[in-house]
Amino acid sequence: MATASRSADDWWRGAVIYQVYPRSFQDTDGDGIGDLRGVTRRLHHIASLGVDAIWLSPFFRSPQADMGYDVSDYCDVDPMFGTLADFDAMLAEAHRLGLKVIIDQVISHTSDRHPWFIESRSSRTNAKEDWYVWADPKPDGTAPNNWLAIFGGPAWEWDGVRRQYYMHNFLSSQPDLNFHNPEVQEAVLSTVRFWLDRGVDGFRLDTANYYFHDRHLRDNPPLVPDPDATSHDAPDVNPYGMQDHLYDKTQPENIGFLRRLRAMLDEYGGRATVGEVGDGARSLRTVAAYTGGRDKLHMCYTFDFLGPEFTAGHIRRCVENFQAVVADGWVCWAFSNHDVIRHVSRFARSEAERERVAKLAISLLAALRGSICLYQGEELGLPEAELAFEELRDPYGIRFWPAFKGRDGCRTPMVWEQELPHAGFSHGTPWLPVREEQRLLAVDAQEGVPGSVLEHYRQTLAFRRAQESLLDGDMAFLTVDQDVLAFTREKNGERLLFVFNLTREPQELRLPVDVIVHEALPMPGFAPRLVADVIALSALDVFCGRLR
């Protein structure tokens, strides 16, 4: 069967993107931290999966207070990851293998060690005095308003030199840039152009709705809980989620800046952006605003699939909500990334279920309309690592321990060779430990093994590539009584039916009279039965068929 095709400029539409967390991918110099040469060494593994692109989490110069999401130089590589020459070599090898390269742009804030902030905080009269969000205290010396930081505490830090507060949505060492200042926008865009000129294919925009703040610094109101919300800004233990964030993010001025950014990318052709949008119950409306009209972001992802629920009703609700709200935009679906518990640990009810859940999850992702993002190690079925408090490196987890354990459990090193020390990640001591249950799932233990999670990923992604309707075809749900997820994908006269049993009980689906299966298509790793107009699925099973 021929592989479906896209135009060169639209390569991102329906693309499969593989996220690389560089410090945990492959270490080549023995310091226990992954590096760019390690990424280059393992690109063949990524290419063998059949993905279209890689997304590299930050590798820029940084004090590493937030694992690189606190940038001190946007136009250089942090020495722990290598050099610009190492990046160029990685980029060239990725392109040789047919992989696009997307890099993380963290432009809502910088490190407090960035030269821009060092100058800005030096006085109230310097050339960059207005490059960050500075505000006077209230008469009683308290912060300007009630805004909270995601990583805990107020979103304001006192600076004794300027005798003012500065805003930070995350750590106090991550001051927010003032995008109301045109000079800041120009400076940020120049750093984006630096990487475009170097040949990158796109950008993942960290916290894409956080660039602007309310000029009047109005207090956020309390959040009125929405029981139907599918996306949340913070775990329940974090008071950040108790506010309705009307004024500290998602301001209307953001639209204009995103148009400027898109215009720059369009100068180069074939470039793409994927924005991270965390906006609670408003996330889909924000995605619609940011991706509609083809003049802003190419696509966005939300947090809808990054929670604990893995049911037919939840998946359908999320997708239908997106379809209803986002008319001409595009979404990127994902079950895991570097910020959440790995999805086999969230979704599986027992250790014995993990492999089946891993296979079902990628089969479902591959069938959805939209682009999809995979996180390193999920192709092995890696579970979340359990860590002791003294092993934590994530400031978020350290702040809210033990109610919230942070993000280190999904950031432990990639496992390559089962019998080597630290599963082949490093010949030094890794920055986070490699657990035994992960070592047993190493790449070389699954390579070429029929029925392994790794081989299932390869087969499933090959199946997706071969079906034109799965890249950007229409999607419509079937109304059924059973607790299953049933939908069609259609393009150019080809119509495919997918049925997913996400329950732990067998299910039988009697097809509606107007739905006639012409032939069953073998979905890798699953074996449902079709008898006349009845599809019988075992627990955690999948059916795919071509319709007349």
**Catalytic machinery residues:** 206, 267
Q: In Å, what is the CA distance from 468 to each residue of 74, 85, 363?
A: 38, 38, 16
- Integer Cα distance of 325 and 285 in angstroms: 6
Whether residue 43 contacts residue 94, with contact meaning beta carbons closer than 8 Å, is answered with yes
Whether residue 209 contacts residue 286, with contact meaning beta carbons closer than 8 Å, is answered with yes
- The per-residue DSSP string of 194-218 comes to HHHHHT--EEEETTTT-S---TT-P
- Integer Cα distance of 216 and 189 in angstroms: 25
- Integer Cα distance of 128 and 119 in angstroms: 6
The Cα diameter of the chain in Å comes to 79
φ, ψ for residue 186, nearest 5 deg: -60, -45
- Integer Cα distance of 209 and 66 in angstroms: 19
On the question of a cis peptide bond just before residue 175, with omega within 30 degrees of 0, the verdict is no
Cα–chain-centroid distance for residue 72?
Answer: 23
CA-wise closest residue to 334 among 424, 248, 231, 264: 231
